[in-house]
Amino acid sequence: MAEYMSFIRGIIIVAIAVYCRGAGGRLMFARFLEDEREKKVLEPHMRELPLIERAWAEGALEGVEGLRALVDGVEGREVERGYWELIGEIARMLLVSSWKAYLALSEHYKWWMMLPHDKFQRLVDPNNQVAILLGAHWIALQQIMAPICEAEEKCATKMPQRSPEAGISVGIIRWLKYLNAQVDREHAAYNRWPRWVEAQLDRDRGFFGRTR
């Protein structure tokens, strides 16, 4: 987990540095620099997206809420609590508006990328079971949001300085499997929902609406 998350974050930071130096070209993850402009372009196309299956959203919210005891008011876990609050907002918005859920997911990406290094290290510590659980829920959320994320990708060509590949990733199933496998017996009860998501994807990769 540490190697993968550090690698992805490194790509984003280097890309932004190149962009800020005026190197030209299209910037993947441009949302971090041009958030308001992106919203204006995307909103007309995504505002009326249908909600995902209610049972999926309710399951996600129940799963995230189930982590409350591990982070809420626990001294020394302020970073984990921030992580939990952000993914909780994504889950709540899935019951309200797919567009708002997308915006909440974008906010999480920005928060994750801008974390100071010492706090980022807490979230990729392989001995931090709470961080592993949060990561599993985050990736599982992206899997059930496949139709929303794919709708965003289809809009990418309408945006200046963005490539079609610049949309939020729907996640990596193998990474979800890896995170689920790292949860120890003591914390297994907290990870039922991400395991359920993994099981559905094992049966049918397109179960949640993924088309590619």
Summarised one tens digit per residue, pLDDT across range 19-59 is 334 444 333 344 444 566 677 778 887 888 999 999 999 99
The amino acid present at 81, given as its one-letter code, is R
CA–CA separation, 40 and 21 (whole Å): 25
Q: Is pLDDT at 166 greater than 70 in this prediction?
A: no
d(CA 121, CA 152): 30
The pLDDT, as a whole number, for residue 10 is: 46
**In contact, 154 and 162? CB cutoff 8 Å:** no
Lowest-pLDDT range of 59-68, 133-142, 152-161: 152-161
What distances in angstroms separate CA 78 from CA 70, 82, 84, 135, one per listed residue?
11, 6, 10, 16
Nearest to 42 by CA among 106, 129, 88, 132: 106
Task: Domain ranges for the chain, please list them.
Answer: 2-13+42-203
| pLDDT higher than threshold 80 for residue 162 | no
The pLDDT of 163-184, averaged and rounded, is 73
Which of 158, 153, 181, 180 shows the shortest CA–CA distance to 169? Answer: 153
Lowest model confidence (mean pLDDT) among 10-24, 53-67, 146-160: 10-24
